[in-house]
Chain A
């Protein structure tokens, strides 16, 4: 469970647009777009996310997109899967 929290979360209430997963580490958070795989914010700097963690989250994108669509049916990621 703790490991999942570090990998990335979609909470029941997020800023809805654009769809994203949040990587939480202690007091910091990085929002990774589920449509494009790009970080949404400049701060905190995306370069501070360990690349292996980013890769791990992105590898789970299909599950995360499905989860997002279930949680936020009014703003789905998109209708077809894409590749980065």
Chain B
């Protein structure tokens, strides 16, 4: 599912809303999460998961082709840990019933 399909599905379930508004809702949500992470904040959505920023310390890496040492500076990368409910949803057999 890509962004446009997500918008289409939401539009189908919310016929009273303008498609334009749904587009804004979806972009606002991802923009808020991105902006929070860019400030180093954490975003915690219970049951879904948590986005955070992890720091990777500077290191000396190697160009695998030439073997030359390359300095890699400190960097910050976004990280997502899935929430308990979402993890469980992924592992529920379609039929229900089983463990």
A binds B: no
